[in-house]
Amino acid sequence: MKIREIEPIVLTSKEKGSATWASTMIIVRVITENGAVGYGEAVPTLRVISVYNAIKQVAKGYIGKEVEEVEKNYHEWYKQDFYLARSFESTTAVSAIDIASWDIIGKELGAPIYRLLGGKVRDRIPVYANGWYQDCVTPEDFAEKAKEVVKTGYKALKFDPFGPYYDWIDERGLREAEERVRVVREAVGNNVDILIEHHGRFNANSAIMIAKRLEKYNPGFMEEPVHHEDIIGLRKYRANTHLRVALGERLLSEKEAAFYVEEGLVNILQPDLTNIGGVTVGKSVIKIAEANDVEVAFHNAFGSIQNAVEIQLSAVTQNLYLLENFYDWFPQWKRDLVYNETPVEGGHVKVPDKPGIGVSINEKIIEQLRAEPIPLDIIEEPVWVVKGTWKNYGV
């Protein structure tokens, strides 16, 4: 079936998410000549306008192509784009169109994506909570919220305990971070995984000091301890701590993923299907990780279409660690967009069986939430911060 139309659509609402960048979605609607419709999702972050425009540009290479020929279409884009994986906008655009293509293929064949990829290895996906610690500053704030999360059945939670520190951290920052982690460990006990998010913002010396300070609390992984492109710093970090490193949300190609895995720089790979090349690239990155004894935990911080398709791929991933989940901390409109078909129960999500991405899309709500692509305001907290946490509490 030939692709006839590809439309980027920005969705937002007055009800905001737990992070500024999570308050907007950019979805892509693909329509074929015989009227089949599929949905994908791209990554907004601070580039809503340029991602919206990149989708229009990348779409030019997909119109008129056979929607089923996802590999061929991806490699045609790779040949045409030239700057390809150097351009986050272009890779998130091709990722969104790819996801929508797989959605259509599944609908045409009457099969959820997991069935197109060889079937499920699990019926329920274990998840970890993120986004839960909005407005947490003092250790007591974190402990209280963490208890609530665990009470609802989550067996793992991720948080960034570093307040406004960036690049380097001093003794005060180390003390504050340790206090937050200590009380969360006390609050949740030893049977819950505590996952530490650094948001890729420290130099190696600071990241190593943090590791030495927090290792006694047995974190499940240390996410992005150093700046994303700081390979030298990451090698230093690996040489100075045995803690497990998780990264991957900023990887934009299979080759980038292969580099980190085959260089032994990562223990838990966090590919983001709306960044790395959709299902087409995501499915092969899973195998690269598996062949190298690296576990997979898809990065999943944006919207409900991303969440749906990453549940599908988590269902077929033998070496899955956990799937990230903001679902309970999304604004309600994001859950309404998929008729709330992927609720978290007891720390797990059931794998939906509907054809394609597994869920239906509420077309009415798209029209209610449709917005113009506009620049996001720069506020005192970076857009990627869980809101209200970019503060010291000053012990």
Ligand X SMILES: O=C(O)C(=O)C[C@H](O)[C@H](O)CO
As measured in angstroms, the least distance from the Cβ of 21 to ligand X is 6
As measured in angstroms, the least distance from the Cβ of 341 to ligand X is 22
As measured in angstroms, the least distance from the Cβ of 302 to ligand X is 8
Of 198, 199, 227, 348, catalytic: 199
As measured in angstroms, the least distance from the Cβ of 206 to ligand X is 18
As measured in angstroms, the least distance from the Cβ of 19 to ligand X is 3
Q: Which is nearer to ligand X, 46 or 365 (CB)?
A: 46
Q: Do the bridges between strand 24-32 and strand 3-12 make them parallel or antiparallel, or are there none, so unpaired?
A: antiparallel
Q: Which is nearer to ligand X, 130 or 317 (CB)?
A: 130
Torsional sign, CA 315, 262, 258, 85: positive
Structure tokens at 329: 């901390």
Strand, helix or coil for residue 207: helix
Q: Contact positions toward ligand X, by CB under 6 A? A: 19, 21-22, 130, 197, 199, 249, 299, 301, 324, 384-386
Q: Which is nearer to ligand X, 92 or 130 (CB)?
A: 130
d(CA 267, CA 343): 28
Q: Which is nearer to ligand X, 65 or 199 (CB)?
A: 199
d(CA 230, CA 61): 33
227 is catalytic: no
Q: How many CA atoms lie within 13 A of 225 on its CB side?
A: 33
Output the DSSP codes for 243-261. Answer: SPEEE-TT--SHHHHHHHH
Q: Are 212 and 196 in contact (CB under 8 A)?
A: no
Output the DSSP codes for 144-184. Answer: HHHHHHHHTT-SEEEE---TT-BBB--HHHHHHHHHHHHHH
Tell me the CA distances in angstroms from 232 to 207, 228, 279, one per residue in order: 13, 11, 30
Of 198, 227, 299, 348, catalytic: 299
As measured in angstroms, the least distance from the Cβ of 107 to ligand X is 29
Q: Which is nearer to ligand X, 89 or 223 (CB)?
A: 223
299 is catalytic: yes
In terms of Cβ atoms closer than 10 Å to its own Cβ (0-12, 13-18, 19+), residue 31 is middle
Q: What is the arrangement of strands in the sheet containing 37-42, beginning at the earlier edge strand?
A: 37-42, 24-32, 3-12, 370-371
d(CA 347, CA 309): 18
Q: Which is nearer to ligand X, 22 or 70 (CB)?
A: 22
β-bridge partners, 11:
25, 370
Q: Which residues are catalytic?
A: 199, 299
